[in-house]
Amino acid sequence: MFKQVFLVKLLILGCTFMAQAQLAEDIREAAQMYAQANLNEDYELLLDFTYPSVIEHAGGRDAYKKTLIQLNEIQKSRGMKLNEFIIKEPMEHVKAGNEYHAIVPYKMISQVKGGKLSSENTLIAVIAEGKDKWYFIETTSLTEKNLVKVLPTWDHTLTLPLKKAPIYQEDK
């Protein structure tokens, strides 16, 4: 009897671990596509991966796309070019209401006049229960206080990592 209970618990634990691993892999895969869209300046794909509330707060899809294009043009006019967008392992995830939220760290490396600028930040990955599409929220300009404006289901179970200053490395 003890052996059967132990095996059932082990099976449940194994299934839970596999589900957690699959969730992390799904997040990472979607985040990689988001990163590639950034590198390729594929604004339509970026919009497809952007959490709908963010787009809504920006005035709609066309307005947000225009903003993305303008920001990119400003960076280019200042001699900046995004070279790398490196997705790191999702840190943790939780269920909040009918959604799952995950913190996904990333590193961006841009070529700038005279060197490279490296910055680290996080994305919040969001998926509704029963859905198969991950959305992302850039946390660059968000704080724990204003995050609920774009992500109403944010329950503060996860903590946004502290912001890090960009690092400039001069060309040699």
pLDDT at residue 145, rounded to an integer: 84
8 A C-beta contact, residue 49 and residue 134: yes
Chain segment 2-19, per-residue pLDDT in tens: 566 544 454 443 434 444
User: Taking 80 as the threshold, does the pLDDT of residue 101 lie above it?
Assistant: yes
Residue with tokens 């503060």: 156
- Between 166 and 20, the more confident residue is 166
pLDDT at residue 22, rounded to an integer: 76
**Amino acid found at 121:** N
8 A C-beta contact, residue 160 and residue 144: yes
Residues 6+ apart with CB under 8 A from 37: 43, 45, 46, 49
Residue with tokens 């070529």: 111
Q: Give the confidence band of 1 by pLDDT, cuts at 50, 70, 90.
A: low
Per-residue DSSP letter, 51: -
Q: Give the confidence band of 92 by pLDDT, cuts at 50, 70, 90.
A: confident
Closest by CA position to 127, among listed 42, 38, 22, 43: 22
Question: What percent of the chain lies above the pLDDT cut of 70?
Answer: 88
Domains in the chain with CATH codes: 2-170 (3.10.450)
